[in-house]
Structures are given as C-alpha cells and as structure tokens.
Structure 1
Amino acid sequence: MKARGGELGWLTWPPKQGETSGVSRFYAYSICNVGEREQDNWLRTTFIQRHPSVSRVFVELQFIVRDCNSFDGASLICKETFNLYSSEADADVGTTFHKVQFKKVTTIAPDERTNKNEMHINTETKVVENLSQKGFYLAFQDIGACVALLSVRVYYKTCPATTKSLALFPETVAGGEGQGLKEVTGRCIDNAESVDLPRIYCTMDGEWVVPVGQCQCNPGYEEVEDSCEECQPGFFKAEGTSGKCEPCPANTQSHNSGATYCPCKDGFFRAVTDPITGPCSGLPSAPRDLKATTSSLSPGKLLLSWQPPEDTGGRTDINYSVDCQHCGCNEGSSCQPCGKKIRYDPPNMLLTDTKVSVSELDPFCNYTFTVEVHSGVSMFAKQAKASTFRPPSSDNKPDVPTFVVLNLEKNSVQIDNLSPGTAYRVKVQALGSDGSQGVSSLEEQFETLSEGQLNKTAVIIAGVVAGGVMVFILTVIYCLHRRKRDTHTRQGPEDTYFSSPEQLKPLKTYVDPHTYEDPNVAVLKFATEIHPSHITKQKVIGAGEFGEVYKGILKAPGKKEVAVAVKTLKPGYTEKQRQDFLSEASIMGQFSHQNIIRLEGVVTKFKHAMIVTEFMENGALDRYLRDHDGEFSSHQLVGMLRGIAAGMKYLSEMSYVHRDLAARNILVNTSLECKVSDFGLSRVLEDDPEGTYTTSGGKIPIRWTAPEAIAYRKFTSASDVWSFGIVMWEVMAFGERPYWDMSNHEVMKAINEAFRLPAPMDCPSAVYQLMLQCWLQDRSKRPRFGDIVSLLDKLLRSPDSLKTIADFDPRVSIRLPSTSGSDGSPFRSVSEWLESIKMSQYSENFTRAGVITMDQVLQMKNEDIKNIGVRLPGHLKRIAYSILGLKDQTSTLSVFAV
C-alpha cells in the first residue's frame, strides 16, 4: 500500500468490516472491535501468481497491535493476536470467499504492543510451504484484537546466477523443507570443457554449497579470473587443464595467440618419441678422428675407434653405425658391400661406444669403413666420416677358426652335432631388447670325448637310468598305500585342502559366551589359564573400560619369553563386571587368524583377573597414523587395509558381527601388520546369514555405524562393511576424525540426506570408489568382505591402479578454519593458527624464519614452507592447504555430497 499510494483492493469479510486509512501516504488495513464478543473478521489478498518452480514462500508482515490494558473495561474480551491463513487455486476466484477453503499457517503475536503513549511497529516473517497450484491467496483473521496491518511482503528465495570453477550456474529457486538441497547442473564457460558436467547444490536459504566437478580451459587457453583467455604469442598450452600457458621451449617459436604447441625453428627437429611440449634439437655433427689399429699377432683383425661429435644437437640418445666396403679382392672386381663376410664385436648397429672390433678380414683387399652418428632426429639428415684401411698382405691366409652364434631367450642351451675329440671355446653375452649388448663372460674351452670314451659312457648312463626308474616306481606305490591308510585318521585344517569338494567341512562357527549359564565355563572352554607368576607387568600403556592395560612379559614353563599386553580388572569390581570383562577373552579365544589379535590366555583363579594378549608395538592405528602423517605411500596404506579386511572376512565367515570396527580398535605391530581387536561391543549372528542382532540399549558409535543400525539397532556383517568404509577413510586421511567437529545429530542428518564423506587428500580413486560402495544405503548392495579382500589384492598387485587420484577440494575435505578464532575474532598469532590445524610443533620454525604475523603467512608459497623446515609431505600439504583456505575465505560446510 505504501508503494502504490493507496489501497490494494483486498477483500474484507464480513463486508465493510475494518477500514483502510491513509494519512500522509501512510496506508494500513486496520480493525479494532475490542469491546464486542465473538469477533471473526477476515482480510484476503488478491490472487498471487506462483512461479512454477516455487513451492515455498516467505510472508513478511509489519503490523501494530494495541495493548489490551490500554482499553478501559474491555481487557477481558480483548485479544492481542491474529491468524495467518492460505488457500491455493488454479484460477482467480474473484470476490468469492469461503473460509473452509483456507488452512491456518500460524498465529501472529507482537513482540511489542502499542499503548496510549507510544506506538511500536512489529515485523514477523512466516513460511508457507508445499505450494503446487497456479496461485494462492493469503488471509488474515482477527478474533477481537485492535490491529493495523501496515505491510505484507511475499517473496521466495533463489540461489543467484553464479560462476564457479569456470562453470555457469543459472539462478535457481531454493527448495522447500522436504526437498533439502537442490542439485543444479552447470555448463562450462566459453573455451572450457569438462568430462563430467559440473554440479552444485542450492540450499533452502538461497546459498550455493558443495561444488562437484570442474571445467578446465581448452588447449591454447588459460584461466584468468572467471574466464578462459587465449595464450599470448610466444606461449602455449597443450592440454585442457587448470594450468597456465607456458613459454615456448628452446629452439621453438609461436607467432600466433592460442597456440597448443610451439613448432620447431628452421634446422631444429623433434623426434617421433619427443613430447610435442618439449624443446627441439639440432642434428649431431660428424664423429671425429676415425682410426684403425691392427696387430701382427691377430692377422685379419683390426680395432676401429673414433671421437664423439663436437655438437650432439642437444640430445643424449647418440648412437653409431659402421658400414664396410671391400675393393680389389679379385682382379678387375669393383667395390662391393662386405655383407656378412666379416664380423663386428659388438654388432655394428646401434653402437653406444666409440670403438668396435672387426675380424675375419681377407688379405689383399682394400676395406673402406664409414662411421655414421645417429640421434632421435637423424632421420632428417645424416652426418658421416670415412677412413680407408687395407690389412697387411700375407703369402698364406691365416687359419681362421669357425664361429657359431646362437641367439637364445633362456639361460641354457644344448649344442648338438659336435665332432668327437675336438676343442671348443664358448663365450656368453647378454643382449638387450633394443639390440644393445652387455658385458661378455670369459671365454671357456671344452673338449668333446673321443669315440671310445663315448661308448663306455653310454653303458654307464643306461644303468643309472634303469635304477632310477625302479626307485621311482617303488616310491609311488608306498605313497599311495600310505595315503589310503591315513584317509580315516587325518584331522585338522589340512582336511579342507586335501579332501574332495563333497568332503569339505564348513568353517567353524562362533559361539556366543553369553549363552552359557555359567560364564566361567565359557572362559575355561575357550581360553588358556595362566598362573600370575608367569606374568611380569612392566609399564602402563593405556586404560580400558574395566582397568589399566600394561606392557608385560609372559614366560611360560618350557617356552620363550614373549612381550604381551595385560588387561587388568580394577579393584572394587562387581561379579557382573568380572563376567563382562572375561567374556571378551571367551570371544577372542575362539579366533585364530593373523589379522585378529591373539589371546595368550587369562588369569581367573586368583584375586586379580587378567586378560593376556599379544603385544602390538605401534599401538592403535588412528594414533599411529596421526603421528606419522604423510610418511606412508598409498600402496602401504592399502596393504594395511587389506590386512584389516582379511581379519573381518574371517570374522564374517564365522557368522560374527563386530559392531565397533574403527581405527582406534585396530592395533599395529612393527611390521605394520594390522589386527582387529576390542570385542566388547561384538555380538553373534544367528544361523541365518541374513540374521541380525538387536541390542537392548547402550551407546552406538554414530560416526562409524551404518544408518540401519542407528535407526533400528540391527547389526549385520553389512553394517560392519559400512564401518570398514569409515576405517578406510580414516587410514587414507592419516587418522583424521570422521566428519570432523560435526555433532552426532549433524552426522545422522547428513547420512540420511545421502551425503557421504569426501575423498581424503591424495586418496586413489579406486580406493575412494570402494568406500562409496561400502556406504550404499541399501545394505544388500554393499560388497562382502570376501569381495573387498579380492579387490584390494588386485590393487596391490597393480600399483599403477593407485596412481589415479580422486577429486579433492581442500575447502571441503579437511574442514580448514577461517581466519577467525573460536570467538569470531581474527587469529591473534601464528602459533594460535598452527594450533588450530594441529601443527603447533612448527611454531619455532615460523618464528626463526621471521614469519610472525598472519599477513606474512598469507604470502607464503610451498617453497617458503619447505625452507623453514617443514619436510614431511603430509604436514607440508596440511599447512599449504590451510593457507589456501585462509585466502579463499569460503564458508566451511557441515555436510558433503557424494
């Protein structure tokens, strides 16, 4: 009404009830029948058209309500509130008004009431949800208040059109309460592309969150703010990446803008195997000082040698070839190629050395040797230098021995058809796949037997062979007889490997110790009793639910000393606490697997009960990874996960559910072998493989627990698979806390809205995809532990499969703090900032380097961080990404998209 300067033509009911007033362009709808009982006055808006995408609108009201105490004698029937109603329609119904068509939205009450002396204007905003028809009406009901309606503003929220990561996202209407986040697909800006279309989410409050995917500038373009601009002349960009244009490399040029590569300058070339982004190189010059050396002791043989070219053209792949021609060997004959008549050592092609031995040369011949130099670009021209050599003449040709060369792909050979009583010399030399030659062995001489010796040897060999055949036959008969006899007596794990398929026995099934009427019987059945005198407690290494945990030594009679962990029961325990304490031993005693913590025994027959297990030197996995952040490769981390998965596969095959699988409950020894421990929350499945265990209460580790287990307290091996996915995330994130500082309520809400933890930094894509499979909402679709072990084995056998890294956004994935402390003020010091990202051990390094203000921190680059002494890759990345987050100042998110 204020904007129009007059009334809006809204409908009142009963007609003429209430009034419109306008004083100095200050208009209002008002009613004030406080002295009359049973008031039911309505004010209805005109038809409000709905945007097709809008299902939720906000109604902002400005109004005045008179204090009932300011009316003499009317306070008993006076009201101080009025009601807001709404009604949907597909067409304007004009002045037709039916109260029953309206549904109540809310009651409006003032924060401040107007009295005789001063006026107070109230502002309230209410939400009308689930709109679906072409339009709607709003109505205001008065039931006996003195109220003036000054302004009604009806609006909806949108996420504004924006450009993020080189992608354009259109203006999007925010969703309603039931819709949560709206996924919006964007398009790449001009001169940019993306394999997968980028996506982003629009919140109910009109804010963009969680961008997924990124566009990258096309080849020949680089990112400049929110656009892709052509590379300038003299620069190029070969691939569609987020990188900048690079200067043209050596011996190349680019006169045009938008170059994807720089062509070679005249006289310079690239080899076929050279990258298009690399420099160009010239041709090598000719080899120098070709010489031929002969020896009178070796007629028919010479040594060719030369010097490398003065100019290699800037290349390192230099090699040589030697060509030969002979002239004048026969009267009147012309010069001809030497062919295979002569021998080279090493072979005359692809020489990397500057010398070669040539043999089996004939006297009375003139030989011309040509040495050519080659490189990766020598196909474009040749450079050669030749020298002529004639071997010394001889009246008698030398006695040239016969050579036989065998090319083999194995390390043994049998040479047949040798002459009896003849000396042979043998030399072995390795050859590369490219024809390169290795070092030769020493030449060894062997002599074949004479014909008489051969006959005698044949008789001896025949006798030995006959005797060997007889011994073999007797051995087979004995083994078959023994196997038949042992069929009925052999027992133990070998049966499953030697029996036929129909004889295979099922895996042992876990027995719940709680099914025993006397829990002490279960302990004696599944655990070995140890005398306390055999245990020496050394130092406290932790505290369990029931008491302290010690490192100790177990020295059983007749056995070696072994390091053990000793769990104790604190004084003042009840009998139930003692039974619960020992029930873990009853569980552990049933397991025997290299990736399950091994129970050494228990102490139950003395006052102080104890559980003794193998000692794991490196302690809990989560703390160990945090202490060694960034020190292990992806291959090592996947190896740890494989061990955990193997242990869980064993448990699941025994129909056993752990219920508390987390990195804190995995122990690590000195060889980085991981073992599942802590069976305090564990329970057994029924015989039905799909059976579940329903708890009667107790705490559930929300961050590690599957949604169906949280909602219905039902646990299966599939819920353990979900937990294993969280353990995978913990391991790849070096012990980071899952979901960071989100509350348990926020975690449950995020999971139910289909959000999942993002990929940790440097996490292989294949590993993250397996995590997502473990976190499928439908538990029947999650992989089984056997499948997980098989997949991890494949990844470990193919290290290249771990090189592809999953997408990582530092602003989302490591919950970086902003430049504000917990109280909202800027960080007061560098040390306070380092403490917030758990890197306070480097405070002195920053101080020594003179970095004492946050402004100086924001100017640091990776090289600066290295120079002050941050060497561990994980720490370097954490500090660098934190600085990136400080610069970016984007809002930290509390939930994340798949």
Structure 2
Amino acid sequence: MRLKGQCSYLLTSLVCVVLFQWEVTQRTLNGSQFYTYSVCNVGEREQDNWLRTTFIQRHQSASRVFVELQFIVRDCNSFGGSSLTCKETFNLFTSESDADVGTTFRKGQFKKVATIAPDEITGKNELRINTETRVVENLSRKGFYLAFQDIGACVALLSTRVYYKTCPATVKSLVLFPETVAGGENQGLREVSGACVDNAVSEESPRIYCTVDGDWAVMVGQCQCKPGYEEVKEACQECRPGFFKAAASGDKCEPCPANSEQLDSGALVCPCTDGFYRAPTDPPTGPCSGLPSAPRDLVATTVQLSTGKLLLSWSPPEDTAGRTDVTYSVECQRCEDSVCQLCGEKIRFEPAGTGLTDTKVSVSSLDAHLNYTFTVKAHSGVSMFEAEPRSSRPPSSISLTVSLRYTGETSASLSLSWDVFPRPRSQSQPIQYKLTYRKKVPKKSIVKMNASLITVKLVVQRCFSDILTLRFGFSLVSRGQDDNLVATTIIVRILEKNFVHVVDLTPCTAYIWIFIFLFRKRNSHSRQGPEDTYFSSSEQLKPLKTYVDPHTYEDPNVAVLKFATEIHPSHITKQKVIGAGEFGEVYRGNLKMPGRKEVAVAIKTLKPGYTEKQRQDFLSEASIMGQFSHQNIIRLEGVVTKFKHAMIVTEYMENGALDRYLKDHDGEFPSFQLVGMMYGIAAGMKYLSDMSYVHRDLAARNILVNNNLECKVSDFGLSRVLEDDPEGTYTTSGGKIPIRWTAPEAIAYRKFTSASDVWSFGIVMWEVMAFGERPYWDMSNHEVMKAINEAFRLPAPMDCPSAVYQLMLQCWLQDRSKRPRFGDIVNLLDKLLRSPDSLKTIADFDPRVSIRLPSTSGSDGSPFRSVSEWLESIKMSQYSENFTCAGVVTMDHVLQMKNEDIKNIGVRLPGHLKRIAYSILGLKDQTSTLSVFAV
C-alpha cells in the first residue's frame, strides 16, 4: 500500500539579506515583470560571491527539507574568448542556528549541500529557466539559512521554495491516520499509530509507517466493523433490513438464510421461523431446517434360525430437510396372544440399536413362533425440538428360516435335517417348512498388477542462522533403461568458490533452493576437475591480454576509437547532475541504443572552453576503461567524440562512492559483509594487475557501489585533481600524488607498481573497516609522510577482525617485494569468507589512537556550548533529538552517561554506540587529545 504524500512550505519565495557581488535586477519574461538576484563576473578570476536567505523557521518534526530553485545560467560560449574562467554551475550551502543572527555572516558556519548545474543553458537571444530540487538532511536546530555561492558563472536566481514532506491524513482499512511529517534519511520509516473509525474495532492497535518521501507504506493491523455493521467507503454502516452480520469482521452483511425471519436494520442474527430450527452445533448464521421424513422401504430378512437372527434394512428418508446429520434408531415389540410388550434387553442389535448411520441392522436372540414388531425412526440435529420423530414399521408377522444340516448323500440324493420348534398353544395349524436351492457360481480370479517405482527424497533444514553455508542432498532410485544416471550431492557455489552466504533469513521458515545435476557416466580420464566443472568457461580459459597505454598512440583519437564505442548523442538522455569534476559535470541519465534495452548510465561531460590537451586527457580515461571487462571494474558503455560536447558514458552505480556510502551506513554492516566488499575490490585489482595495469589512485572514493552492494574500481584518469583539499596531493615533476593512499617508494621515487597499488589497497581496507573514516584523520600530509618513514602504521579500527588487520599490515610493509600480491590477497579473503569463525577474533583497539576524538573544546578553543555541537563534532548529529527527549541537554549530563544510558535513548547500531561511548571517555580523559605520535 502506498499513499502519496504532500508538501508544507517553509519559504515560498526568495528573500535574501546579505549580498556579495549579487545584484537585484528587474526582468521581463512573457510580459510579466519580476525581480531576480544575479551575478555575472565571468571575465574576472577568483570569484567567490555569496547570497544568503533570511532565517527560516524549522517545523519541530521536519529534519529533512527540500529546496526547489528556479534559475537561469548563461552559456559560457556566448562570451567569446573572454570567458576562459567562466563556469556554468553554482553551489548551495546551509547553516543551522537556534536564533536569527541578523546580518552577521561567516562562511565557515556553512556546509555545502550540492553543486547546481542547469539542464538548459541560456544563449544570447532566449531565456531558459531551469528548476532543480535538492535535499537538506539531518536538521535539528530551531531554524536554518540557505546560501548560494558563485565561483565564476553568469547566473540569475529567480525563486526559492523550501518545503518538507508529510504523509497526508488518510483512512485505510477503517483506520484513521493523522498527518505526519516525514522523517530524515537516517530515521528511515516513522511509525504512526491510528484509531478506528466509528463503529469499528481492532484486536491490536493499528499502525503504519511514513517514508522519507511522504508516502504511507507497510500497514500493520486493521479495524473491522462491529456486529450488525459493514464497511461502505471507509466507514461502518448498519446492515440493511433483511441482512445481518453476527461478528466483527471485514465481511459484508449477508441476506438472512432460508427459513429465518428478516429483521430491521443492524441485525446481528436472523431467528428461525415457526417449525424450523438450528441445532446447537449449527452456526447462528446458517439456515434453519425442519425434521426429516420417515425412513422408507423397511424390509426384514431371516438369516439364521438356530440363533434367532434376522436382518433389517431400509432406505433413507425422502426428505432430509437439507441436513447431513441423519441417524436412525430401532425399537422392538414382542406380541404373544394379542399382548405386546417391549422386547427388553434379551434382544440384541448389531452394531447398535440407536445412533445408526447405516441403513441396516442385525437383530439376534429372537424366539420362534412369536410375532415381533420393529419400528425404525429417523433423527437429525434438530429432532430434539419435535416430540415424536417420524418412523417406519415392517409387517408385524416375521417368519424365521431354520438352518440346515448335512447328514449324507447318494449318487442321486442329499440328506438334510433341521430342528423342529414346538408349536405354540395358540396355533392350531401344523408348522410348514419350505426348502429352496440354487446353483453355486464360481468366483472370478483376481489379477495383481505390479509397477516400477521412482522415489525422490529431499531433505532440507527448516531453521537457519543469519549467515550459513547451505548443502543440498538429492537421491534417485530408478529401474529400467536409465541405469546410466547417477546421483550427486552438490554444494551451492558463488564468487568462484564452493560456498554461499545468506543474510537476514527469517528463522524457522522453509527456504528451499534445489540444484540437481545428472551426469552421464564417462571415462574418468576425460573428466574436468571440480573447479573446471563449475567455473571454467571459454573466456576464463583464455590468457589475459596486456594493457595498452593510450598515450603511446601518436593520435589519441585513434586510441579512443580502437577501445571505445562511439555513441550518437540522440541515444543519451541526461536527467540530473550527480557530481562535478575537473573536466565538467557528471550526470545521471539513460542510454537507449537501437536493438538494446534502455539502461541507466553515468555521463561525464567536458565543460565549454576546453583546450585540446584537456580533451585528450578527458578521453584517455575512456581509452583505458574500454580495455577492461570484469564484474568488479566499472563498465564503459561508450563515448561521444564526433560532436561539439564530448562525453564518456559508463554504467550507473546507484549507491555512489564507497567512502560516502559507508559513512551514511556507519555501523550497519557486519564484518563478514565488509570483507565481502574487500573481496570484490581485490578481485578487480587482481584483474588489472594481471593485465599489467597500475591504478596509482586506489582509494575508497574511487570505488563505486551498486544496488547489490557490488564494489567496482573506477576513476582511471592520470592527471586529475584528487581531492578538494590542496594538501591532498604531493606534486613532483611527474604530476600529483594522493599522499594518504600512496606507498613510500611511490612518493619518494615515483615507483608506481602493482606493489604500490597493494599498499593503497591496505588503506582502502582500513577505510572499509572504519566506515569511511579519513585515513590519518586530521594529520597534515607532511605529518603523514614523516610518520610512515618512522614506521608508524594506522591502528586497527573498531571491531576489526585480527586476520583482516594483519593483512593490512602486510600490505604496508616497507619492502615492496615482501608485500602480498593481489592473487594472494584474493585467496586469503576467500578463506576468511569460507570460514566465518576466523573473523570472530578482534584486533586490539585503543580509542585514544584508533579514533580521533575531540577534546572538551570546540574548534575555536571554547568548551562545547551544547550537546548538539558535541554530537556534530563526532558526526553523530542524527541523535540530537534522542538526547533532547531523554533530558540530556547539557555537557554535564553527557559526562554522567553510561553505555546502558546510550542504548536506552535509542542508539542501537554497534558502531554508533561505540563512537559515542569512546567520545565520552575522551571528554573525561584529556589525554585523549594527545597526538598520535605522543601516544
């Protein structure tokens, strides 16, 4: 169930009070006059122009707001040669505050939200208005400001709308849910309780979840109309006259059943009319029924004279009154000299004299020369309401056939004898006996049929743990022509190994995967090995090709055409800007090639005003990617080179860069899953190493993650800005180096090899286990190089398995020849995944070294002024509301908290729990602020 949300606006138009080079301009568009904020200093260098809104009050429950911008951006090409520094994007920033600071403005208080790029660029003669929406997350203070930074574009800002999403008030399944403000990204689903509408009830309190997009989803429980009411258009109305409803349920009112009275509206039951009844076991909603008619065709047949035995049989009643619970009872009267009386206990009935369901009964122990009268009565579940059930009687005089005895025979005769009973005194005529006989017919022979059987047996365990290895057994027993079939027991295999891990299976639920392989017997010498059987393919058996450096081509355009597919721009649809790089913006979009299914793609663009060298450097990345084909390497879809705007098109990775993804899901993944991510990265790097390709910039920011949590190596550019921080690179005559991820020999002597990539992979492992923490924290690049040369290595992150940390240390050996190869790393990670118990031993962890905790002072040296400021400093601001609701509103309260207190306020993720707990330890112990070297 999904009900669409609605929006509540905080700011419906742009009102700004602080200006830095922005101007208020009156414009005319489509005959209407309006005011804009604009800036256009494209001919000047080092532009840094800011525009800030007035204070925006935040709704108490709205931690996530949306900013909708309408703006115009001028095409840089329209300025001619004077626009070399021209940009076509601007930046959106935000800053939170508990009070309006007036005209006070400090850039350091603002944090970046997004880079805003236009879908349509305005030329010289026509205005093109763009509309973009961005999300501001994790708001916790009373209000906030928005700011817009221009760094060299010609842009006009027309309007700004700020709003938050709510799940609208609605009625679903007879439950009324109130309007609810949607939660933020970190809050996930927000649970909301509902109330039943009038004349409806529920066994448990109904609830539903409000999603971050303002949609209702995942309803639990429901309300049902009371007895006598039915659901009509999300309300409960009385049953119409002649209808009834006996219990609270979701059913409609039903017409009164047969033979019952029709009451006024709102009836719970319909009583039976006169002469009709319901049995005690009948449902009150069932029809009423009358009594069955008398049994028919009662016949008495003599069976054995010596024991006085006869058989009574009859036919069922012609009218059973629609009932299936008809039974029979038999009564016996004995008459002598015109005096009749009950037979008494001497007479025996088999199987019984009452409660018969069959239409026959055997009667024994009868006396000869007496008259017996038998009465058979029909009963049903409603017979208790009638004084006398209807009955059927046979003829009053019943003859008993005597039993014969064989006494001898001749060739033409038989001798038989029987007992003669004394004649009653009241009978004057002698007793006559009649003898009948018939020819015996032989029985038919019985033919037995035999058939061959095939038995299949499958055994599977029904209760699973969270992570397990599944094995399936299959046995086949066969007869006939299929003797060449043999049974086999297999192991489910993925990731090129004989194991599979399954996460988050519901306990005690049957999950059945059936894999059946039937092999024909063949000569054992011609069989493949186990690995060949499951993993060998024509592609895998081929030797890997060697990487070709596109810079060795005299004409780089030839390299692009050799290794990449040319795409016509009409096949590409841009949707949203998802990033900005040195060469231009990166878009999310769709690619629809003729004869192929439409796929989501990422589109890298080359900004206007580029030089030929920039174009060649831009396209060289495509020449590199086009040579790779591996599931853990980002896939190149093609390039656009024959048109004005060059583009590189790659597969789209929904979860973006690995470092950001891990930060957003801090503490949510177990070690087993993190090691699985490392395995994918290592497999991709082994592929590159086998092709003799050196990446040089392996880091978590250059690993992309898709919806299946597959990690893929990306970013193969050789001359790009590696970090926003100017200290992020170390410049030599050969280019720029990412210091924190680069091996010592590569920094000192520019010795880039697969061994230096292994060093970088060790740093990536640390980033993964630390959920995106910055390597070496806030140390400067100079301090990092000095520490590495003095044999310092990054300490183990929290909850890092000892085996994983030991592999990191092996990757960071000073002697590059002693570092493991990527093939060795893949094998070791594979063994850890196949033996989850090996990940249970945790490396030693010292919070004073392994996590950079702030002191009791803020960034400006003054004590933390609020709990929110402290939480923001340790990147846990999403819990601000939890602390406030628990009454922890001062830093003194924080210092008194224990681990159990942190759990009780709603911090559940182990990683977050430990980060907050260790931070409190750091607040108590000033030694936690010592530098890494002092420790």
TM-score (normalizing by structure 1): 0.44
TM-score (normalizing by structure 2): 0.42
